[in-house]
Amino acid sequence: MHILLVEDDAQLGSAIQRALERLSYTVSWLRDGRSALAAMRDRTADLVLLDLGLPGRDGIEVLVEARRAHVDTPVLVMTARDGLTARVDGLDAGADDYLTKPFHVEELAARIRSLTRRMRGLAVNRIEVGVLSLDVGTSEVTFRGQPVDLTRREFALLQALMENAGRLVRRESLENSLYGLDHVVGNNALEVLVHALRRKLSFETVRNVRGFGYMIPQDPK
Amino acid sequence: MHILLVEDDAQLGSAIQRALERLSYTVSWLRDGRSALAAMRDRTADLVLLDLGLPGRDGIEVLVEARRAHVDTPVLVMTARDGLTARVDGLDAGADDYLTKPFHVEELAARIRSLTRRMRGLAVNRIEVGVLSLDVGTSEVTFRGQPVDLTRREFALLQALMENAGRLVRRESLENSLYGLDHVVGNNALEVLVHALRRKLSFETVRNVRGFGYMIPQDPK
DNA sequence: TTCCTTCCTTAGCATTGTCTTAGGCTGCGG
DNA sequence: CCGCAGCCTAAGACAATGCTAAGGAAGGAA
């Protein structure tokens, strides 16, 4: 998964790059419109994160130009809070989603996941793993046919685990997708969260692999 | 089932066309108002998907013109503008439903299904959820048999919730359909609105799911 | 066994989300 | 020009949430 980040602000750019790399995306960071356009024409990226406040050439122009060249890579536009019309223009110009600065890394990660799901064709809003079912759209979860009330964090954790059902999800990877980079949380926050989730489902549902992380088996009980 | 898609943006247009064809609709894609109007006059389409941000001739004009020519094909309007104004303008001009960009394909599919059902005369413009009833055409709302006076925003909120009765509607999704992309609105505007609506109905009718959003149960009290 | 690391569990407290009221701006009709 | 309806922001109260801390249990290695 290769992400093209187009952002002129050094601080923000490097922060985003680090955050995304920690989520195990490959990130190419470009700082101006010209090289961004060139890179988009190469079509090597799977997704483009485009800042609209670029110096010189406007981000919108880059987008329009790329679309004109039939580059159909999904583009997620980032814009400052007051760029009101810019946002609308961005979508008209062919952006697939937008994000208003400032945003949380968690939010960005969610949008990226949603976009990649969408571009893989059939937008699957529902993840089913045995007796577990999770609807990303309505945030509803059922376990053995019964609806389960989860908090936001619990939901995010369950989603991350269910998206990788049957496979081990590394502790580090979970912490990154739940808390992002800017938030340094204590090292047992995740454990507490796992415990809360287990209590609401069952204790066998979430399995621990000592020293590595957690997983939900293909056929949870 | 033949759908007329009127959209000038190449990227979005082809995306929608592909998505709809995958759902086994027949799609004719037109890129400008003039040919759209001509096609509507032919009355060969069962449904029209009309983008309001057309170049040259405005989408609204196309719609008004078609209605004047007694073309009564159902029209679903797509817009990137402020949710409310576009909604009012569009519906005034004779649209049957609207959708704010960006939207998910499933959302579009749901609206299309609902529109075709409605035009088959099965369900009219009325949404009924238990003791709640809302008429999209006349903007009338009754609760426990009594008519209720709602403002435009309150109506829009209630409609969004009733269309998803029994399911949770994300806060973000509500904000998007109420305020469109012009998201400069403070973050508790929605809460104040919910409060106003609850006061006019009852406080148990609109349920909150902390951290996610709101919902109206299948059987509201 | 013994020691050390990792994980589980509970409790306490700071943060955040939501509800509610109040106040002010805007546009429209008398 | 005034009054009113509609809808926003601001601010305080209060409860849910999610963190840290801390002690105990369980796994793994010598």
pLDDT tens per residue across all 221 residues of chain B: 788 899 887 877 888 887 787 676 778 888 888 888 888 887 778 889 988 776 555 777 888 888 878 787 888 888 765 555 555 566 666 777 777 776 767 678 777 877 776 665 544 567 889 899 988 767 789 999 899 999 888 988 998 899 888 889 888 888 877 775 555 667 888 999 999 999 999 989 999 999 999 999 988 87
How many CB pairs below 8 Å do chains A and B form together? Answer: 61
Of A42-51, A132-141, A155-164, B21-30, the range with the lowest mean pLDDT is: B21-30
Contact A91 B212 (CB under 8 A): no
Protein residues with beta carbon less than 7 Å from any atom of strand D:
A 151-154, 178-179, 184-186, 188-189, 192-193, 210; B 151-154, 179, 184-186, 188-189, 192-193, 210-211
| Gap from A140 CA to D13 C1', Å | 30
Residue A88 is nearest to which of B11, B181, B210, comparing CB atoms?
A: B181
Higher pLDDT, B105 or A134: A134
Q: Residue A200 pLDDT more than 90?
A: yes
Check residue B20 and give its pLDDT: 80
**Average pLDDT, rounded, for chain A:** 81
Locate B127 and state its tokens: 């949404």
Q: Does B211 touch chain A (CB under 8 A)?
A: yes
Q: Which helix (H) or strand (E) holds B88?
A: helix B83-93
- Whether pTM > 0.85 for this model: the answer is no
Beta bridge partners, B182, equal none
Instruction: Give the nucleotide with minimal C1' distance to the Cα of A208.
Output: C7
What backbone torsions phi and psi does residue A110 show, to the nearest 5 degrees? -60, -45
Percent of residues, chain A, with pLDDT higher than 70 = 81
Looking at residue B119, its pLDDT comes to 64
- C chain positions with any atom within 7 Å of a protein CB: 5-11, 17-22
**What type of residue is A65?**
E
Residue A124 has pLDDT above 70, yes or no: no
Q: Cβ–Cβ of B181/A118 closer than 8 Å?
A: no
For residue B21, the number of C-alpha atoms closer than 13 Å in the C-beta half-sphere is: 10
Contact B153, A122 (CB under 8 A): no
pLDDT attached to residue A78: 84
Contact A99, A16 (CB under 8 A): no
User: pLDDT, tens digit, for every residue of A155-178?
Assistant: 989 988 998 888 898 888 888 778
Least confident of A2-6, A135-139, A141-145, A212-216: A135-139
Summary count for chain B: helices (H), strands (E): 8, 12
A-contacting residues of B 135-174, CB under 8 Å? 164, 167-170
Indicate if the pLDDT at residue A182 is higher than 60: no
d(CA A193, C1' D26) / Å: 20
What band does A216 get if pLDDT is binned at 50, 70 and 90?
very high
| Nucleotide with the nearest C1' to A199 CA | C9
Strands of the sheet with A75-79, listed across from one edge: A26-30, A2-6, A47-51, A75-79, A97-100
Average of per-residue pLDDT across A52-73 = 77
At residue A70, does pLDDT exceed 90? Answer: no
Please indicate whether, in this complex, the C-beta atoms of A152 and B53 are within 8 angstroms of each other: no
